[in-house]
Amino acid sequence: MSELETIRLSLKDKIVELAPDRDGWIIVLKGDRINSIKVARSQVGLSLDFEWHFVAPVVVYEEVTERRVRLYRELKRREAQTLRRGWLRYSYTWITSTALKENLPEVTPMNDLVERLNNDTNLQRLLRRSVVDELHVNTYFSLDWGINPKDSIRRHYQDPEKVGWLLTAIKGPGSEWRFASIVRRIYELLEYLAGRLSEFTYEVERELF
């Protein structure tokens, strides 16, 4: 069975549309928290191995006002990612995103979101169940065609198009033999995390204004 058919079967009760994309597929969903996931296969270095990327936008505000520009920049300070430890039985720790320092070294991180994610026992359960290699939480941005991703990230920081998050789960080589369960479990993980991030966004907004 092809990966496309496996995705269709594993999420059949959630899918509105499944469309091919330049390097994978876009899954349009019925979910309340995430409306789509892009699934793409990426070659690992010069090897013959592949890893899978699951990217889900979580848009909190479609329209951006001056106040929401400030909100976006405050959320940027909270970007996070997982650190996985162990062998066979994994444990996950949330840390400040390394991409924040790489792309915007002038921005001072805040760790309140990291602390909240580390204390969320249900999120930890979903992480262990999904056995993702990496999970990244970044503020929403879209890549500009032909532009260095770092430049796109900096442009969105100065002039954001939307306020929200971009979730990226990465599952490494060896996933194919149980791909159906992996897709379903990563969907459940991202759906849950999207809800927690939306709640957190509104809390930050209330504190600001």
Average pLDDT per run of 10 along the chain, which is 209 residues long?
Answer: 83 90 89 90 72 95 97 98 89 97 97 98 96 96 82 95 97 75 95 98 97
Judge contact between 81 and 92, C-beta under 8 A. Answer: no
Q: Residues 47-84, buried b or exposed e (16+ Cβ, 10 A)?
A: eeeebbbbbbbbbbbeeeeeebeebbebbbbbbbbbee
pLDDT of residue 174: 65
pLDDT, position 47? 63
Indicate the pTM of the whole model: 0.94
pLDDT for 179 equals 83
Which pLDDT score, from 0 to 100, does residue 62 have?
Answer: 96
pLDDT of residue 149: 87
Helix spans in the chain (H): 3-10, 66-76, 98-103, 112-118, 121-130, 149-158, 179-208
Query: What is the β-pairing status of strands 24-29 and 163-171?
Result: unpaired
Token reading at 189: 């993980």
Beta bridge partners of 15: 29
